[in-house]
């Protein structure tokens, strides 16, 4: 893909983001997206065959940015507890982003009619962090604990705790974003729980 083509594709995705988040999936039209992106409908259809494909591409692009932001700063050679705390803080920052919450609302609303959109959201946004953390845990858990560790389940529970503590209340109950102090408490509890489950009592006691 040439630089010009990549730039035009990004321009279209930005227009799609504006329209989908404002109008929802059903309310968004390719004409409105073309107008928001500053391109003709012909150009729009050159890049994307239809609204489903465009929305799926938008979801993948947004989730890829969130994934990179979430795992930035993790040092594989660093302290396990500090790495998990860093990861948890960045994850909370990502799930609290207004655009990410709005995108989740759109996905939930559209997935009943179009399960493929929900599947795409799960595969590009929810599964990759789990897989990445599971690999990290498997690589950084003492051998005696690896025999009893389900790294993927531990990763699922870690992210589920963080998401349920912050994103779900904001998404469903429209609660305000928690204070920095509350976020620190949530991070500490999530890390303590994971380390305890890993059997690493000495590190958990320090958290």
Contacting residues for 93 by C-beta, under 8 A, at least 6 apart:
69
Confidence of residue 191 (pLDDT cuts 50, 70, 90): very high
Asked if residue 56 is part of any domain, the answer here is no
Residue 23 DSSP SS3: helix
pLDDT (tens digit per residue) in 111-147: 888 898 889 889 888 999 999 999 999 888 766 555 5
Asked if residue 151 is part of any domain, the answer here is yes
Mean pLDDT calculated for residue range 164-172: 93
Can you read off the two tokens belonging to residue 114? 């179009």
Q: What is the CATH number of the domain that holds 18?
A: 1.10.10.60
Is there a single domain that holds both residue 43 and residue 144? no
pLDDT for res 95: 93
Domain holding 84, by residue range, is 65-206
pLDDT for res 27: 94
Assess whether pLDDT exceeds 80 at residue 200. no
| Owner of token pair 């699922």 | 156
pLDDT for res 74: 81
Confidence of residue 205 (pLDDT cuts 50, 70, 90): very low
Confidence of residue 38 (pLDDT cuts 50, 70, 90): very high
Distances (CA, A) of 77 to 10, 88, 97, 129, 139: 35, 18, 29, 19, 11
Residue of 165, 18, 159 whose CA lies nearest to 91: 159
How many domains does the structure of the chain reveal? 2
pLDDT (tens digit per residue) in 75-104: 777 789 999 999 999 999 999 999 999 999
Asked if residue 105 is part of any domain, the answer here is yes
pLDDT for res 24: 93
Q: What is the CATH number of the domain that holds 76?
A: 1.10.357.10
Mean pLDDT calculated for residue range 184-198: 93
Assess whether pLDDT exceeds 80 at residue 62. yes
Residue 2 DSSP SS3: coil
pLDDT for res 145: 52
Can you read off the two tokens belonging to residue 96? 């609290």
Is there a single domain that holds both residue 32 and residue 98? no
What are phi and psi for residue 199, nearest 5 degrees? Answer: 85, 10
Is there a single domain that holds both residue 23 and residue 69? no
Asked if residue 95 is part of any domain, the answer here is yes
Assess whether pLDDT exceeds 70 at residue 202. no
Asked if residue 57 is part of any domain, the answer here is no
């Amino acid at each position: 893909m040439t630089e010009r083509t990549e730039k035009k594709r990004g321009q279209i995705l930005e227009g799609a983001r504006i329209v989908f988040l404002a109008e929802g999936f059903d309310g968004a039209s390719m004409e409105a997206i073309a107008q928001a992106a500053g391109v003709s409908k012909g150009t729009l259809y050159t890049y994307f065959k239809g609204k489903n494909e465009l929305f799926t591409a938008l979801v993948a692009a947004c989730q890829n940015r969130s994934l990179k932001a979430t795992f930035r700063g993790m040092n594989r050679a660093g302290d396990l507890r500090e790495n998990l705390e860093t990861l948890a803080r960045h994850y909370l920052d990502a799930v609290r982003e207004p655009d990410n919450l709005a995108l989740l609302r759109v996905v939930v609303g559209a997935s009943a009619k179009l399960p493929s959109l929900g599947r795409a959201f799960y595969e590009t946004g929810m599964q990759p962090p789990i897989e990445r953390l599971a690999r990290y845990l498997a690589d950084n858990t003492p051998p005696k604990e690896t025999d009893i560790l389900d790294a993927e389940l531990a990763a699922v529970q870690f992210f589920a705790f963080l998401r349920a503590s912050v994103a779900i209340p904001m998404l469903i109950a429209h609660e305000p974003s928690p204070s920095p102090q509350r976020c620190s408490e949530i991070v500490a509890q999530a890390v303590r729980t994971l380390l305890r489950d890993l059997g690493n009592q000495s590190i958990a006691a320090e958290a």
